[in-house]
Amino acid sequence: MKVSGIDPAPRRGLQVFDGTDHQIKLEESAAFLADLARDDDHLVCWDAPLTGPPSWVVEGAAAEGSAFCQRPLESFFGRASTGFKAPPGISVQGYAGCPHWALTRSLLGLPRVGRFDGKAESLPFRPMTSDSQRPERGRCIVEVHPAVALWLWCRDERGDAASGLYKSSLVCKADRDKLVLEIWESLLRVRAFAGTFPPTLRDPGTDDELDARVAYALGRLWLDDPAEVSFLGDADTGGFLLPRVPGMEERFRSFVESLAK
């Protein structure tokens, strides 16, 4: 299967990595994705929420609590009690607050939020929402969160301060560019990550390029080496591809069970 890592932005369009870096202008984004949807076997790794309310709300049942603003997945990475609270600089905000949410809805028909939305089988890409759905063929799409993946991959080397400050407006461009390069070099020392890229690949020029490459690596590893990457969550809790970390899946299951009590 082909893999494309895509970082969408409401104004800039799509930053894409498929073995090569591409910047797709906003006005060309729909046509670009339509071309991808013509491939027989393609996994798109999308850096924006692809699920929203739980399935029973999408099908018409009454919503409760935070169904229209935050998924359990985001709560998990936002609470210290889980042992996996993302460090400062990495945003895991509720899906409804993500600025690329509307663009994703327009381009992909996802996330589906209610009974008036199109059925999943009518969408250009079939959403993958469990680890058991790891595809072997078809036009598929899976949610990723490169910043969280970066943190999990680099925290042994860089510590919990391995954050996403490269996206902060408080950091000057020179320092941000330096941090992007430092994170990239840290990643290349992670065996699983480094093996997904040719040694001659140039350094990423921007944080968007870095995110698109990480998105691609997550998808490539999920297909080729699932011992390294898994899908955490499901359609009801929210979920994305992440490096396998000892204890994380068990902690997440316990956390979801605690919310149901």
- Using one digit for the tens of pLDDT, what is the confidence trace for 164-196? 677 776 678 888 888 899 889 989 999 999 989
- Using CB atoms within 10 Å of the CB of residue 116, give its burial: 0 to 12 exposed, 13 to 18 middle, 19+ buried: exposed
Which structure tokens are listed for 228? 């390294």
Q: Helix or strand or coil: residue 220?
A: helix
Domains in the chain: boundaries? 2-259
- Tens-digit pLDDT profile for residues 37-72: 998 899 999 999 999 999 999 999 999 999 999 999
Give the contacts of 257 (CB within 8 A, at least 6 positions apart): none
Sign of CA dihedral 197, 3, 33, 50: negative
pLDDT (mean) for 2-12: 96
If one compares 250 and 173, the residue with the highest pLDDT of the two is 250
Structure-token match 């932005």, residue found: 9
Give the contacts of 207 (CB within 8 A, at least 6 positions apart): 166, 167, 176, 180
Q: Strand 13-17 vs strand 2-9: parallel, antiparallel, or unpaired?
A: antiparallel
The span from the CA of 252 to the CA of 209, in Å, is: 29
Q: Helix or strand or coil: residue 21?
A: strand
Question: Quick one: how far is CA 77 from the chain centroid?
Answer: 14
pTM equals 0.95
Does the structure show a pLDDT above 60 at 120?
Answer: yes
The span from the CA of 134 to the CA of 89, in Å, is: 30
Give the contacts of 93 (CB within 8 A, at least 6 positions apart): 70, 74
E strand map for the chain: 2-9, 13-17, 21-24, 41-46, 126-127, 138-143, 229-234, 238-243
